[in-house]
Structure 1
């Protein structure tokens, strides 16, 4: 009994980390403000970034279900993580407007894949009687990530910016 419980928790933990990663996408509003300032964009130009994320979610939700039926739930979640990682890696190579459009688009596509495939994957791991509470816990983890994302980003920014002996 104890071994199955540990095995179940070992399978559940990575899925909950994916819910945590999904919550970080809510940081897109704050990120678009920084892109606006860095690229000297107008409000109209900057507002396209959050819209892109949700637009791609609209476009990719149904095709993700079909993809999931073809390649499986686990592979779809892994693909979503790869696409999300690529979207976060793109700004390392530059900060142009087109590159940011591509980055935010990939973020939306990765998030659509993740949100559409993560709950069905969880239903493979958790038994029927605990599924509802596990799904609720996953949404709780996502909400915690949404709450903590600005603070973690702020901490990361302060660690990356040299203090030049002034702090």
Structure 2
């Protein structure tokens, strides 16, 4: 099973590389002399693609298959990374390339989340999706480290913020080849969905509230990835230390939290895990509002652990309500990833108003909503199955 699903887990790992656009935006801000608000357009260009292409991606997955959509996403990502790998383009062209990267990553998310259900034993979907999201978190953490490590190598040092792009391009190409030879038995639908039938699901309150929850969660996570480094630098840390103790530690704790979540879900229901995660995420964001360096460092760790399992828990809880509409729900939930484009703009505007640490009221408010959402009732979740031997 592991060897068969390894290309899928590799695709999840590469989804996390898009998170490098947040920390990398700080270098691009210097290179292109941008304001805080303008620099958020880098992550905006990735995440706005989710708003435009997620629902069509869900429809396309149902029509051509999830594997083909994974291949399309990986191919688009590789193409998007070529131009910045070979030249220094104007900022507008960079945003275009990053938007294309967002389109490819959208397709990876839309296809990757439901295809995990196809390869999971009954009752193990939440656990396996948490593990896959942990691997995605590893990609997020690795992407931040890769950007720092590559920029220090002599062969890439002159490329500055572009140094990681050739490496990411090669990884996308290797993943494309791996998925190409993958055999997956996909669950089929009798009648392919349409964009209209997908959007009609928003008429059901449970799905609408969940989509808003994903929108705010991703926005809060993108805001952390973008602003943790400059926040810690304001405390007197040098650039490398601030990058490590900020986005790198945050994404590493995301990874650890998701891997722990996969184990915890063998004994805890997804809804209970969702509630505990939302509470911890809120406490971490609130600690960052304090303006205290020790509390902020603790807040980075707590926020990473709290943010870790929001996506797999909320996604799986929602999909299990209507598993026969998994492709459409995946498109809607991935459309909500566009929160990563909108919410950081709000936080960037507050930072430009010199509000300092108080700007973290934005992710704190997002997690206050998620905590309230987690306390809503729902149909009882099935008891977790014991882990099966491979």
TM-score, normalised relative to structure 1: 0.84
**CA distances 1:10-39 after superposition (whole Å, capped 9, x unpaired):** 221111111111111111112222222222
2:102 maps to 108
CA distance, structure 2, for counterparts of residue 62 and residue 117 of structure 1: 11
Structure 1 position 49, deviation (Å) = 1.5
Q: Tell me if the contact between 1:11 and 1:125 (Cα under 8 Å) persists in the aligned partners.
A: no
> Quick one: which of 143, 146, 154 aligns to 2:140?
146
Q: What residue number does 2:8 align with?
A: 15
Whether the 8 Å CA contact 1:90–1:99 is kept in 2: the answer is no
Question: Post-superposition shift, 1:135?
Answer: 0.9
What whole-Å deviation, never above 9, does each CA across 1:140-159 have from its counterpart, x for those lacking one? Answer: 11122222321122111112
More deviation, 81-90/63-72? 81-90
Q: CA deviation at 1:115?
A: 0.9
- Check whether the contact 1:20–1:144 (CA below 8 A) recurs between aligned residues: yes
**What residue in structure 2 maps to residue 89 of structure 1?**
82
- Match of residue 112 from structure 2: 118
- 2: CA distance, partners of 1:47 / 1:136: 28
Which of 79, 102, 124 is equivalent to 1:130? 124
Measured in 2, the distance between the counterparts of 1:72 and 1:61 equals 15
The answer to whether the 8 A contact 1:39-1:95 is kept is no
Match of 1:38 in 2: 31
Task: Identify unmatched segments of 5+ residues in structure 1.
Answer: 1-7, 163-167
Instruction: State how many pairs are aligned.
Output: 155
Q: Which has a greater percent of helix? A: 1
Corresponding position of 1:165: none
Aligned-pair Cα RMSD in Å = 1.7
CA displacement at 1:78 relative to structure 2: 0.9
| Contact persistence 1:91–1:99 (CA under 8 A) | no
Q: Which runs of 4+ in 1 moved over 6 A?
A: none
3-state DSSP of counterpart to 1:101: helix
Q: Which has the larger radius of gyration?
A: 2
Of 51, 64, 69, the residue aligned with 2:62 is: 69
What SS does structure 2 have at the residue aligned with 1:41?
Answer: coil
* Counterpart secondary structure, 1:128: coil
Q: Which residue of structure 2 lines up, in the alignment, with residue 54 of structure 1? A: 47
Q: How far 1:91 sits from its partner (Å)?
A: 0.7
- Mapped to 2, the partners of 1:39 and 1:134 lie a distance apart of 41
Query: Is 1:161 aligned to 2:157, yes or no?
Result: yes
**1:78 alignment partner, one of 63, 68, 71:** 71
Higher alpha-carbon deviation: 19-28 or 35-44: 35-44
Q: CA deviation at 1:100?
A: 0.4
Task: Work out which structure has the larger RCO, using CA pairs closer than 8 Å and 6 or more positions apart in sequence.
Answer: 1
Shift of 1:64: 0.4
Work out the CA distance in 1 between the residues paired with 2:60 and 2:90. 32
